[in-house]
Amino acid sequence: MRSVLVLNAKGGCGKTTLATNLAGYHASKGKRVVLADFDPQGCSMDWLAARPADRPGIEGVAVWRDGLRVPRDTDWLIMDSPAATHGRALADLVRRADSVLMPLLPSPIDIRAANHFIGELNAVRKLVNGGVRLATVANRVREQSLAAAGLEEYLQEFRLPSGKPFPFLAGLRASQNYISAAERGLSIFEFAPARTLPDREQWLRILRWLSRSARANMRQKPD
Ligand SMILES: Nc1ncnc2c1ncn2[C@@H]1O[C@H](COP(=O)(O)OP(=O)(O)O)[C@@H](O)[C@H]1O
Ligand SMILES: [Mg+2]
């Protein structure tokens, strides 16, 4: 099983969007997917409730209410987290993950805030799960906004205090496709390909990195 935690201390940056699209992607590929919602707002569970019955099933777990038990034959555990997760709650989440994806809004303020959070995340990671892999994804990117603000280079150079890279995987454009997918319990991968081609292309590196990371984790030693 691979487990992915979608995490950022900030609300509204795209955690639920990344989690639900990943869940829909792997379900549409025939994988057994558990979508675990740690956020009492339950947005991932609302998304699942809207999912049409004729689409590949995803098992939802409202963790804040029911706790987390994962069936043994699960292929992908996708964990959606609440904003402002710190301290013990953060440690509990990171402990369960083999990869952490951190969505960021492409503004200098958001990226600076994320940088502080990365310090905290790194301290937790060392305590509970030195092998976990981390990466960022810029979300709701408007044409040229990353390049124009010089944010892309800044993101490329993210490092943990140990010097380990914190890869920047992709910028996802701001697109109505994410909004209509969210309303209908779908992922963008379940729309007609012509409509979502630019979005799918932006996901390729994310999907590849996540598939690699389980194997890489086995080789990686904690620092
Ligand atoms: N790339 C995107 N393009 C357009 N709208 C987006 C995109 N990503 C997220 N949104 C919208 O922004 C809002 C906040 O995103 P959400 O994933 O719920 O953030 P979080 O879970 O971090 O609070 C939602 O209404 C969502 O549909
Ligand atoms: Mg959310």
Residue 212, domain extent? 2-217
Confirm whether 137 is domain-assigned: yes
For the Cβ of 177 lying below 6 angstroms from any atom of ligand 1, the answer is no
Mean pLDDT along residues 43-66: 97
Residues 118-129, mean pLDDT to the nearest whole number: 90
User: In this structure, what CATH number is given to the domain that contains residue 198?
Assistant: 3.40.50.300
Please tell me the total count of domains within the chain.
1
Q: Is residue 223 part of a domain?
A: no
CB 43 within 8 A of CB 55: no
Instruction: Give the atom of ligand 1 at the shortest distance from the alpha carbon of 175.
Output: 3
CA 175–ligand 1 middle distance (angstroms): 10
* Angle between helix 176-184 and helix 15-28 axes, rounded to 10 deg: 70
64 CA to centre of ligand 2 in angstroms: 13
DSSP letter assigned to residue 188: G
What percentage of the chain exceeds 90 in pLDDT?
A: 73
Distance, CA 12 to ligand 2 centroid (Å)?
7
Ligand 1 pocket, mutate which of 8, 10, 16, 17 (most atoms under 8 A from CB): 17
Residue 222 lies in a domain: no
**pLDDT for 221:** 45
| d(C-alpha 24, C-alpha 33), whole Å | 8
The CA 6 to ligand 2 mean position distance, Å, reads 9
Query: Does some domain include residue 121?
Result: yes
118-136 average pLDDT score: 91
Report CA 132 to chain centroid distance, whole Å.
14
pTM score above 0.85: yes
Q: What is the pLDDT of residue 222?
A: 47
- Among the bound ligands, name the one nearest to the CA of residue 13: 1
